[in-house]
Amino acid sequence: MTVAASSPQTTAPRAGAPFEHATEPANERAAEPANERAAGPANERAAGARSAGEPVNEPRLDFAGLTPYDEYVKASTLHRLQQPRSADPGEMAFLVTTQVMELWFGLLVYEWHTACGALAEDRLDDALASLRRSVAELRALAASWTPVSSLTPAQFNAYRSALGEASGFQSAAYREMEFLLGEKSASLLQPHADAPHAYAQLEQALHAPSLYDTVLDFLHRRGFDVPREVLDRDLSQRYEPHPGVEAVWVRIYTTGDEPLVQLGEVLTDIAELFGRWRTDHLMATRRAMGAKRGTGGSSGVAWLEKRAARLVFPELWTARGHV
More confident residue, 45 or 21: 45
CA torsion 122→215→205→25, rounded to 10°? Answer: -50
Q: What residue numbers does the annotated binding site for heme cover?
A: 281
Instruction: Give the CA radius of gyration of the chain.
Output: 24
4 CB contacts (<8 Å, ≥6 apart)?
A: 98, 101, 102, 105, 168, 171, 174, 281
Positions at the binding site: 160, 281, 295
- Which amino acid belongs to residue 91? E
Q: Are 3 and 97 in contact (CB under 8 A)?
A: yes
The rounded distance, in Å, linking the Cα atoms of 178 and 169 is: 11
Fold category of 90-322 in CATH: Methane Monooxygenase Hydroxylase; Chain G, domain 1 (1.20.58)
In the predicted structure, residue 7 carries a pLDDT above the cut 80: no
Q: b/e string for 294-305 if b means 16 or more Cβ within 10 A? A: bbbebebbebbe
Q: Are 295 and 167 in contact (CB under 8 A)?
A: yes
Question: Domain residue spans in the chain?
Answer: 26-78, 90-322
How large a percentage of the chain has pLDDT more than 90?
Answer: 72
Q: The pTM is what?
A: 0.82
| Residue 8: HSE in the Cβ half-sphere, 13 Å Cα cutoff | 18
Cβ-contact 19, 33 below 8 angstroms: no
pLDDT at position 310 is 87
For the ranges 68-72, 76-80, 94-98, 306-310, the lowest mean pLDDT is seen at: 306-310
Residue 81 pLDDT > 70: yes
What integer best gives the mean pLDDT of the chain? 86
Specify binding-site residues for substrate: 160, 295
How many Å apart are CA 132 and CA 266, to the nearest integer? 6
Per-residue DSSP letter, 187 = G
What pLDDT sits at residue 169? 82
